[in-house]
Amino acid sequence: MGFTPTESIWFNGRLVPWGDAKVHVLAHGLHYGTGVFEGMRCYATADGPAVFRLDAHLDRFFQSAALYELTIPYTKDALADAALEVIRANKLESAYLRPIAFFDAATLSVWTKECPVTVAIAGYPSGAYLAGGPDRGTRVMISSIRKFDNAAIPAWGKACGQYINSVRAVQEAQRHGFDEALLLNSRGEVSEGSGENLFVVKDGGLLTNDVDAGILMGVTRASVIELAKGLSIPTRVGPLSVEDVLGADELFFSGTAVEVTPIREVDGRVISEGKPGPITRRIQDTFNQAVRGQLPQYRQWLSFVRQAVTS
C-alpha cells in the first residue's frame, strides 16, 4: 500500500504542498514514538466522495491523544472539515487518509511538557493493503512475537510507538514467506494482526475477541458486528484460541486498510478450501455496499465531501 504523492497536505491548520510538509529531525515523536494517528478511507459514491465513519475515527483519535496527555490544538469539527478539505483540494475519490498528531521538537528529555504538538492530515489514492487482497485472501503466520500487554501500553489507543511491535511480527512473517502476522497475547490467546482485527467463522456464526485480548478496538470491527446483526449472523465476543483459528470454517481480517479481507491460509494450513467462504463474502459484499452509500440504513456512517461545500 505504497502512497502516491498528491498536491497538498493539511499541516498545522493550512494546506501546504506535499513536499513542504516537513518535521524537524529532533521531533520528540520521531525519537520516542510520542504521537497518535488514525487511518480512514474515502469512497466514491453516487453522491460524490464520502469518508467512512469520520466521526468515530476522530473520536478515537482524541481518546488516544488523551491517554498520552497530548492536547490536540484543534476541535473535532475543525479536523473533520480539514479531512474533507484534503479530499477536495487533491481531487480524490477513493482515498486513504492519515491524520497524525505528535509531540514536536523542543527537548530530547523523555518528558513532553515542553513540546509543541503538530497535527497533519494526508490523503492519497488507496489500493489493496495485503497481498491477495479482499478478492483472493491472504496468507498468515502465527508470530513468535507476542502482543504487548495492556498494563504496559493500552492497546485501545492508537499510538505511533506501539507499532514497532507490529513491525517485528510482520518482518518475521515475511521472512518466512507469509503476507501477514497474527500475534498472540501474553496468555497465549490470539490477539490480532499487525494492523487488523480478526473474525473467526464457525458453524454459521462469528467469533471475535475484545479489549482484554490486547486489541485495538477497531472502527471497522464495530461496523462488521453491526452488519452481521443486520444479516442475522450470530456474533459472539470472547477469547480466541489458536485452536479456534486453525479449526475455523472461515477467517477474515477487518480494518480500515484491509477493509474485509479473507484469510486463506494460516501457518500452511488451508482455510475454507483456500478461498473466501460464503459468510465472509456476505459480510464483505454488505460492507462494500455500505461504504459506497448503497444501503440507506448505513448512510449515517458516511461524511459526504459535497455537504461540506454547501454548509
Q: Fill in the amino acid letter for 302.
A: L
Residue-level length of the chain: 311
* Residue tagged active-site, from 147, 158, 229, 275: 158
E-strand ranges in the chain read 8-11, 14-17, 35-37, 40-43, 50-52, 95-103, 117-125, 138-142, 180-184, 190-193, 197-202, 205-208, 235-237, 250-255, 259-266, 269-270, 302-304
Task: Say whether 158 is catalytic.
Answer: yes
Which cell goes with 40? 480512514
Which cell goes with 4? 502516491
Cα 94 to chain centroid distance, Å, stands at 16
For 5, 10, 15, 88, 124, the CA distances from 19, given in Å and listed in that order, are: 9, 12, 12, 18, 14
DSSP letters, 105-173, are: SS--SS--TT--EEEEEEEEE---SSTTHHHH-EEEEE-SSPPPPTTTS-TTS-BSGGGHHHHHHHHHH
158: closest CA among 188, 125, 129, 196? 196
Q: Say if CB 64 and CB 36 are below 8 A apart.
A: yes
Residues designated as active site = 158
